[in-house]
C-alpha cells in the first residue's frame, strides 16, 4: 500500500529534495543539485515565483520507505492571463512501481479538480527558466544543471497511466571545431553596418547588472509567441539577477544594441558544471564550492542557456554578431563541446540558427498531458 504525505515541515522538504540522491545513487549520468539552492527555490518567502504561483509538495511511502515525490503547481499568470486551465506538476521522481507513480499523479489530479482546472501537464517547473520534460532518449549522456535526468522507465509510467505527449523538446550538441568563422564573420560586419548595430562584451558582473532588466524584458518579447511561455515578472527579474548573473562568467554574456543603445539581442552561455556538481554531492562546503569555481574557470564544455532576439530583428542575421563574439571568446578559452538546452521541436527558427554547426540531437524529452477527471 502507498501512503502519500504532504510536505509540512522543513525536515519533510529536505527529504523531498534529497530523495533523488538515493534514487540515482549508482547513476554516472545524474547531476545532483545543490541542496541549499533547491530548498530555497521551494521557499515561498525567498522565491518570488510564489507571488504568482502556488505549490504543494508530496512524498510517497511504501512499507515505511520513501519511494517517490512530486510537486503540484498552479501558475496563476498562466491561468488568469493566458486562460490556460492547466495544473502543472514537476520534480516527479519514483521507483519503478506503477502503484507509486499513480498515487502521486492522483494527488496532483485531485488538486487540479479542486480548482476546476481542465488538464494536467508535466514534468514542468514554475516558469520558463525552470527545468522541463521527462527524458525519453539519451540516457547515456550526462545531465546538466539546466535539466532533469530520469530513469528510462519513467516514460512507460506516464503512458500506462493514460497520459499523452504534449510537447517534444530536442537537445543538441556540437563540437566547437565545427564552427567556421568565415560563415558568420562577414555576415557580422554586414549586419552591423546595415542596421547600425554593435556588440557589447563584458569583463565583470557589475558592467552587466544595469542591463539585466532590459534583457528579461527582451526575453519576454522574444518568446511570447511560444505555446508554453509564461512571462518573467519584475520580482522574478530581481531574484534571478541576484541569484545567477554574478555566478555566470561575464565574458559568456553577449549583448547587441542599436544606434540608440537599445538592446536588440542577447545570449547567455554557461560553463558546464556537471562533473563539479557530481563531485560536490549536493553541498557547497567544505569542498563543493572549489569544484564549482574550478569548473567556472576551466570547463571546456559550455551550455547555451538563453538566446533572445527582438521580434523586429528576428530573421535578419543578428545571431552572426553573437556567434562572432562567442567564437573569439571560446577560442581563447579552448572550448571543445557546445551543448544546447532543451528547445521545442516546433521552434524551427531556433534550429535554423545552428544549421552551420552540424549539431547532433543527443537527447529528447517531452511533457505529458492528461485531461482532469479522465
Domains present along the chain, CATH in parentheses = 2-170+367-371 (3.40.630.30), 174-363 (3.40.630.30)
Selection from 31, 30, 24, 55 nearest residue 41 by Cα: 55
Asked if residue 314 has pLDDT above 80, the reply is: yes
For the cut 80, the answer to whether the pLDDT of residue 307 exceeds it is yes
pLDDT in tens, 328-370: 999 999 999 999 999 999 888 778 888 889 999 999 999 999 9
Kind and range of the H or E run holding 39: helix 35-41
pLDDT value of position 158: 98
pLDDT single digits (tens) 239-261: 888 878 878 999 999 999 999 99
Lookup: cell for 353: 540558427
- Residue 163's SS3 state is coil
DSSP 41-109: HT-TTT-GGGGTEEEEEEEEEETTEEEEEEEEEEEHHHHHTS---EEEEEEEEE-S-HHHHHHHHHHHH
Looking at residue 73, what is its pLDDT? 98
Q: Which three cell numbers stand for residue 217?
A: 524584458
Average pLDDT over residues 295-299: 96
51's CB contacts (< 8 A; 6+ apart) are 233, 235
Could you give the maximum distance between any two Cα atoms of the chain, in Å?
A: 69
pLDDT band at 168 (very low <50, low <70, confident <90, very high): very high
pLDDT above 70 as % of the chain: 99
- On the CB side of 328, CA atoms within 13 Å amount to 13
Question: For 104-150, what is the HEC assignment?
Answer: HHHHHHHHHHHCCCCEEEECECCCCCCCECEEEECCCCCCCCCCCCC
In this predicted model, what pLDDT tens digit does every residue of 258-272 receive, in sequence order? 999 999 999 999 999
CA dihedral (133, 214, 304, 249) in degrees, to 10, reads -120
Paired strand residues for 5: 59
The three three-digit cell numbers of residue 236, written as one number = 522574478
Mean pLDDT of 85-92: 97
pTM attached to this predicted model: 0.94
pLDDT of 228 reads 62
Amino acid at each position: 500500500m502507498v501512503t502519500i504525505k504532504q510536505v509540512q515541515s522543513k525536515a519533510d522538504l529536505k527529504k523531498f529534495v534529497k530523495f533523488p540522491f538515493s534514487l540515482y545513487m549508482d547513476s554516472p549520468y545524474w547531476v545532483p543539485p545543490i541542496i541549499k539552492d533547491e530548498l530555497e527555490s521551494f521557499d515561498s518567502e525567498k522565491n518570488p515565483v510564489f507571488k504568482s504561483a502556488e505549490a504543494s509538495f508530496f512524498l510517497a511511502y511504501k512499507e515505511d520507505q520513501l519511494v517517490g515525490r512530486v510537486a503540484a503547481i498552479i501558475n496563476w499568470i498562466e491561468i488568469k492571463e493566458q486562460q490556460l486551465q492547466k495544473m502543472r506538476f514537476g520534480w516527479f521522481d519514483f521507483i519503478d512501481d506503477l502503484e507509486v507513480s499513480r498515487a502521486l499523479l492522483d494527488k496532483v489530479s485531485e488538486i487540479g479538480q479542486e480548482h476546476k482546472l481542465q488538464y494536467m501537464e508535466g514534468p514542468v517547473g514554475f516558469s520558463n527558466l525552470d527545468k522541463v520534460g521527462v527524458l525519453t532518449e539519451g540516457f547515456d549522456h550526462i545531465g546538466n544543471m539546466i535539466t532533469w535526468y530520469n530513469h528510462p522507465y519513467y516514460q512507460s509510467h506516464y503512458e500506462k497511466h493514460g497520459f499523452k505527449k504534449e510537447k517534444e523538446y530536442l537537445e543538441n550538441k556540437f563540437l566547437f571545431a565545427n564552427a567556421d568563422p568565415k560563415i558568420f564573420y562577414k555576415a557580422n560586419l554586414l549586419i552591423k553596418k546595415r542596421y547600425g548595430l554593435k556588440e557589447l562584451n563584458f569583463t565583470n558582473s557589475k558592467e552587466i547588472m544595469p542591463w539585466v532588466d532590459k534583457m528579461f524584458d527582451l526575453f519576454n518579447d522574444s518568446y511570447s509567441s511560444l505555446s508554453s511561455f509564461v512571462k518573467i515578472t519584475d520580482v522574478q527579474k530581481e531574484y534571478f539577477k541576484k541569484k545567477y548573473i554574478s555566478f555566470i562568467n561575464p565574458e559568456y554574456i553577449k549583448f547587441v544594441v542599436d544606434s540608440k543603445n537599445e538592446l536588440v539581442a542577447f545570449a547567455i552561455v554557461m560553463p558546464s558544471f556537471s562533473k563539479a556538481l557530481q563531485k560536490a554531492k549536493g553541498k557547497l562546503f567544505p569542498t563543493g564550492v572549489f569544484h564549482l569555481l574550478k569548473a567556472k574557470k576551466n570547463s571546456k564544455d559550455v551550455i547555451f542557456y538563453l538566446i533572445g532576439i527582438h521580434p523586429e530583428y528576428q530573421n535578419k542575421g543578428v545571431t552572426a554578431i553573437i556567434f562572432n563574439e562567442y567564437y573569439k571568446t571560446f577560442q581563447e578559452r579552448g572550448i571543445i563541446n557546445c551543448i544546447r538546452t532543451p528547445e521545442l521541436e516546433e521552434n524551427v527558427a531556433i534550429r535554423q540558427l545552428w544549421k552551420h554547426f552540424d549539431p547532433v540531437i543527443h537527447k529528447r524529452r517531452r511533457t505529458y498531458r492528461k485531461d482532469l477527471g479522465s
